[in-house]
Structure 1
């Protein structure tokens, strides 16, 4: 009797582990998705006779057991994974996080079906060969807090409608082939999302509306942006820590800019910036500074961390002088 009791007790303990958790509809969608992706080795754990909540790359909600997370990434680049993003991915209605990363043979445009994933808060499709435009239908994903489309082959202009994402904290469009201006509407984001727009072919003036925002990080380097960027750098930008506007066509007087005390990294190299270095720079706790290849003049202010940087942070200016450059005449 005691032995039977122990057996029954053990069955009670292990029965939850044997229970089928995966929602059948979600499992059917995932198996279709695997087929649409040409059955890659990355998804070898997706087998019909196992519970999909235990499949590699899948996340299930602990209470509802619906699929809420899907991460497909290739840690060994250039394995045999060749496909486009299939529309079947839209049939996971509870998906909150979607990552497709380091899949160099993932091609084609972003499918409109992604707009049906209205529960998404996190969307990363990066380091692929995705092409075509950044689609305006992404603005329908109102719960997004993070959108990363970096390191792809996307082209065309940036859709102004992305500013309609009310909860967005970060937008990464860097390392693509995007053209045209930064949308004026980006100055009206409800938050001040980190905007990574570097290594594209963006052009035109930086919109004045962006002065409304208080960025923590600005990286718009290696574009063809023109004009005045001083409104991004004022003392009222209390969250600003890192600025990289290097290798553009910016032209403004640096002399009167009062930088925020929070700033720790400033890269303005290879522009057409003129004037002198403001004395207030000596009060900042710089970890990195580069103003080379501009049209600056005058003496480098003495103090703070300005003399801790080498000549390469300052050289190739019109008439900048003083340590670490040669002494002023």
Structure 2
């Protein structure tokens, strides 16, 4: 661990490490809070046995080199509070042992990686404060060991009700705030383990599921969604009168109570009388 050891220095480039062939048994490389500048070098991918690569709280720029995804033994990649950008490559699925992917407060853009669902050991996925866009892929629900899923402050959208959150049975924290998610709050997101939930400033609507621990959260959790209603929010849900009327009509039809207008009955009788005459 070399945390804080190279304050303000530049990250050694690939040219500087052209003959790099050492540290092949290195499992942990931590340069936390070193204020390092420059880009993430490709030579890091030559550390074949690296399991933890910690470069958070630096000033590293540019995209993540795709060769990094060849370090198949990587289990933890904490990279928050840098200036990394570009898209997150689908090659990330090569890191089959990955348990922690923390990209908090960078400048990543593009769509959420479509194949993250293949990372079955993933436990902590943090994308807060980036520029990700588009809908969440349903395959993300295949990450059934997720403990924390943090997606706040991006440009994500789509109907979250269509995602089967019930599969994330280990989830304790779900952060969706400040995106453009639509749909209703899925009741299946509620289970005993969920301790933190934040849907602040989205476009969610409808009643908050009752009989769950969602009612125990502070109302601020749901602020910025004017079409949401029900506890813990102060605004009550108003029954849909049109829907109630339709339900009543359907019920009447189901019971065989069909009511014909009187003029139809009169016309039938007149026709019978005239025809008989």
How far off is 1:298 after superposition? 3.6
The yes-or-no answer on 1:159 pairing with 2:94 is no
Q: After TM superposition, list the pairs within 5 Å mapping 1:134-213 onto structure 2.
A: 134-213=64-143
With CA pairs under 8 Å and 6+ residues apart, which has the higher RCO, 1 or 2? Answer: 2
Indicate if the aligned counterparts of 1:179 and 1:202 stay in contact, CA closer than 8 A.
yes
Distance 1:211 1:168 in 2: 16
What is the aligned partner in structure 2 of residue 16 from structure 1? Answer: none
Distance 2:219 2:174 in 1: 10
Distance 2:214 2:169 in 1: 15
What is the aligned partner in structure 2 of residue 9 from structure 1? Answer: none
Alignment TM-score, normalising by the size of structure 1: 0.65
Unaligned runs of 5+ in 1: 1-70, 301-305, 307-313, 323-329
What is the aligned partner in structure 2 of residue 54 from structure 1? Answer: none
What is the aligned partner in structure 1 of residue 209 from structure 2? Answer: 278
The yes-or-no answer on 1:103 pairing with 2:30 is no
Indicate if the aligned counterparts of 1:123 and 1:144 stay in contact, CA closer than 8 A.
yes
What do residues 10-40 of structure 1 show as CA deviations (whole Å, max 9, x unaligned)? xxxxxxxxxxxxxxxxxxxxxxxxxxxxxxx
Deviates more, 1:215-224 or 1:282-291: 282-291
Alignment TM-score, normalising by the size of structure 2: 0.76
Q: After TM superposition, list the pairs within 5 Å mapping 1:49-88 onto structure 2.
A: 71-74=1-4, 81-87=8-14, 88=17
The yes-or-no answer on 1:229 pairing with 2:160 is yes
**C-alpha RMSD over aligned residues:** 2.5
Counterpart of 2:182 (choices 241, 245, 251) is 251
What is the aligned partner in structure 2 of residue 267 from structure 1? Answer: 198
Distance 2:214 2:7 in 1: 54
Distance 2:201 2:64 in 1: 28
What is the aligned partner in structure 1 of residue 236 from structure 2? Answer: 321
Q: After TM superposition, list the pairs within 5 Å mapping 1:20-59 onto structure 2.
A: none
Indicate if the aligned counterparts of 1:236 and 1:260 stay in contact, CA closer than 8 A.
no
Indicate if the aligned counterparts of 1:275 and 1:295 stay in contact, CA closer than 8 A.
no
Distance 2:12 2:161 in 1: 41
What SS class does the counterpart of residue 174 from structure 2 fall into? strand
What do residues 289-314 of structure 1 show as CA deviations (whole Å, max 9, x unaligned)? 701101334432xxxxx5xxxxxxx4
Distance 2:162 2:94 in 1: 23
What is the aligned partner in structure 1 of residue 256 from structure 2? Answer: none
What SS class does the counterpart of residue 84 from structure 1 fall into? coil
Structure possessing the higher radius of gyration over alpha carbons: 2
Indicate if the aligned counterparts of 1:90 and 1:114 stay in contact, CA closer than 8 A.
no
